[in-house]
Structure 1
Amino acid sequence: MKKLSCITLFLLAIMLLVRFHSVAQNRAMTYNIRYATTNDQENQWDNRKAELCELLNYYRPGFIGLQESLPIQNEYIDEQLPSYKYIGFGREGEGSNSESAPIFYDSTLYQLLDQEVFWLSPTPSQISIGWDASYKRVATIGIFRDLNSRDTLFVINTHFDHMGQIAREKSASLLLTKIQALKTESKSLILMGDFNSLPSDTPIQILTQKLEDTYTSSLSKPYGPVGTFNGFDSQLIPSQRIDYIFGKNLKVLSYRAVNDKRSNGLCISDHLPVLIEWEQSQKLK
């Protein structure tokens, strides 16, 4: 009887580990980490990079979409997250020392099948600036295989221009065109990033014609502040929601704006990361 009890406990432990693994892989995070500049003084990259990686390691999303990340930042994060790999390159072209919108993914959970970087402009396959934008802007696409379910998953990460209103609207339409070309009708898709737009703004209204805003589609009440931009003000409760995760064929279980702070009480970045947990749609089975 005692032997049977030990076997039962062992099997229960295995079941709990399998369940935890399944939940952990169905997480995605978008995070504008603020580019590395000494102008930020106490908030500069070298002062906060270790705690930023501690946050990523603590929540361990299967996918992490970063914005404003320079090569030196990508390399540091890559070193600190040994099971992750990343795709994407800077807006000035491959090999440049420029801001990127990379996708980090846990390679123990997902296999990369294909990838693409394109520019948010009328000529997306060329290094180019779009419409009335102040900077070149890019989006990174990754096509992945879930190593557990064997399903295909599409992940897109981007950063819309902060000045060009027309550019933001045109970028939203371009993304929908790209998504349509991917033929994702029966597949799970995640679009995430810093869209520099409020929920009532036209770019978000364009995107939600075809995609779900996970803030509103989450089955549980969103946790944390409504807003995602803090401007490094550690006393502020953010109210401006400009960072989003959109989904297609996802059953979103939870949504969280992560308002964790550094050990000294300062902000880890000038944006909050957004974290979702999801379950794949029954349509995919």
Structure 2
Amino acid sequence: MLKRFLMLLFLLGSWAGVPILALTASSSSSPEGKSEIRVMTFNVKVDFEEDSRVPPWDDRKDLCAQVVKEARPDLLGLQETSPNQLAFFQDLLEGYETVGKTPLPSEERELFETLFPPLKEIGFDSYTDVILMIRKEVFEILDQGHWWLSPTPDKASIGFGNIFPRITVWARLKHTPSGREIVAVNTHFDNTAPSQERMAKLCQEKLQIFVDEDLPILFFGDFNTDQGRGDYPLLTSGGWKDSYLASPEASETGRDDNVPTIGGRSRIDHIFYYGKSLQAVEWKRLESPDPKRALSDHFPVLSVLAID
């Protein structure tokens, strides 16, 4: 009977011209009685900076859209998102709310333009490098905010050895299926050592208020640090877990590197989590549907976590 039912679904999907994925529920690999949260982090490679290793944005945005749609994230963390790219993803993901479009006073905007002159040509009035996209049918936003990764986290600034301001954005959410409150945090650390260690320490200090409330926390993004560097132990201490290590099966392909332009086994895009109510059940590196066209200079990463 089950085989006949599945065959019927397949035929219906084929006749309707839609993938079978659209007719089936999310993965059933979660422990019995638990809901799933699908978390995706993706450094999309900003569109106004040329890179011979990555096609122009107009030549890869359709691939990015396909990968994001097929991943069906409940929480999507984007990094290196220009205002133009943010508008693209907002049009693509109509059922999502956006957190992280950070207004910049004129003084802070001038700092950005001084540090990175190409920004003057864009005419931006808000910072969109780190964006959280939240599926509205799964989460209700209760609160949100951000901090800058510097000794003065309340304003756009540098000071940890980085040459450009970096930011972390967060949202306190109600997970509708379970009724639990949860905190989602997206970040983009600098790529200069040892700034990552200072950024990791600051984030731990900022997140402690949620730890003290015993709230489940999802902390993800482009950390520009792999499992062999000094700040990685900080990020996986005190009850924090790496979803890659905690997942029963880390990846369908067995590949854990997610920086195609440098090779090796480096993982710098991570999905960490805190809280006894969360359990990683799947981790996957996502690849371009077209091997001849890279999505970005990073692979997207997807983790599925069970929450009771």
Q: For residues 155 and 166 of structure 2, what CA distance do their matches in structure 1 show? A: 11
TM-score between both structures, scaled by the size of structure 2: 0.77
Deviations 1:151-209 (A, max 9, x none): 1110100011012x232111000111111122455322110011111102111111111
Q: Report the counterpart of residue 11 of structure 1 in structure 2.
A: none
- 1:118 Cα deviation after fit: 1.0
| RMSD between superposed Cα atoms in Å | 2.6
Q: For residues 18 and 54 of structure 1, what CA distance do their matches in structure 2 show? A: 18
User: Residue 86 of structure 1 contacts residue 105 of structure 1 at CA under 8 Å; is this kept in 2?
Assistant: yes
Which structure ranks higher in relative contact order (CA pairs < 8 Å, sequence separation ≥ 6)?
2
1:58-77 equivalence runs, <5 A: 58-77=70-89
Distance 1:20 1:221, change over 3 A: closer
Q: Give identity over the alignment, percent.
A: 26
Q: Report the counterpart of residue 208 of structure 2 in structure 1.
A: 180
1:205-216 equivalence runs, <5 A: 205-210=233-238, 211-216=240-245
Alignment partner of 1:167 out of 172, 195, 209? 195
Q: Report the counterpart of residue 46 of structure 2 in structure 1.
A: 35
Alignment partner of 2:259 out of 229, 254, 266? 229
Q: Report the counterpart of residue 201 of structure 1 in structure 2.
A: 229
- 1:98 Cα deviation after fit: 4.5
Q: Report the counterpart of residue 265 of structure 1 in structure 2.
A: 292
Letter of the aligned partner of 1:135 in structure 2? F
Q: For residues 198 and 146 of structure 1, what CA distance do their matches in structure 2 show? A: 30
Q: Report the counterpart of residue 278 of structure 1 in structure 2.
A: 305
Distance 1:186 1:219, change over 3 A: farther
Deviations 1:207-229 (A, max 9, x none): 11121011111122433321111
Q: For residues 20 and 29 of structure 1, what CA distance do their matches in structure 2 show? A: 15
Q: For residues 111 and 190 of structure 1, what CA distance do their matches in structure 2 show? A: 15
1:142-161 equivalence runs, <5 A: 142-161=171-190
Q: For residues 240 and 51 of structure 1, what CA distance do their matches in structure 2 show? A: 23
SS of the residue 1:75 aligns to: helix
Letter of the aligned partner of 1:270 in structure 2? D
User: Residue 91 of structure 1 contacts residue 99 of structure 1 at CA under 8 Å; is this kept in 2?
Assistant: no
Alignment partner of 2:272 out of 221, 246, 251? 246
Deviations 1:27-62 (A, max 9, x none): 000110000126246711111112211111111110
- 1:134 Cα deviation after fit: 1.5
SS of the residue 1:158 aligns to: strand
Number of positions where the alignment pairs a residue of Structure 1 with one of Structure 2: 261
Structure 2 unaligned segments of length 5 or more: list them. Answer: 1-22, 110-123
Q: For residues 184 and 228 of structure 1, what CA distance do their matches in structure 2 show? A: 33
Letter of the aligned partner of 2:87 in structure 1? E
Q: Given the alignment of the two structures, is residue 138 of structure 1 paired with residue 167 of structure 2, yes or no? A: yes
1:78-157 equivalence runs, <5 A: 78-89=90-101, 96=125, 98-157=127-186
Distance 1:258 1:198, change over 3 A: same
Deviations 1:83-111 (A, max 9, x none): 11211025966963645111001111111
Q: Report the counterpart of residue 66 of structure 2 in structure 1.
A: 54
Distance 1:159 1:256, change over 3 A: same
Distance 1:184 1:271, change over 3 A: farther
Q: For residues 181 and 145 of structure 2, what CA distance do their matches in structure 1 show? A: 16
Structure 1 unaligned segments of length 5 or more: list them. Answer: 1-16
1:18-29 equivalence runs, <5 A: 20=26, 26-29=37-40
Q: For residues 222 and 20 of structure 1, what CA distance do their matches in structure 2 show? A: 17
Q: For residues 66 and 251 of structure 2, what CA distance do their matches in structure 1 show? A: 23
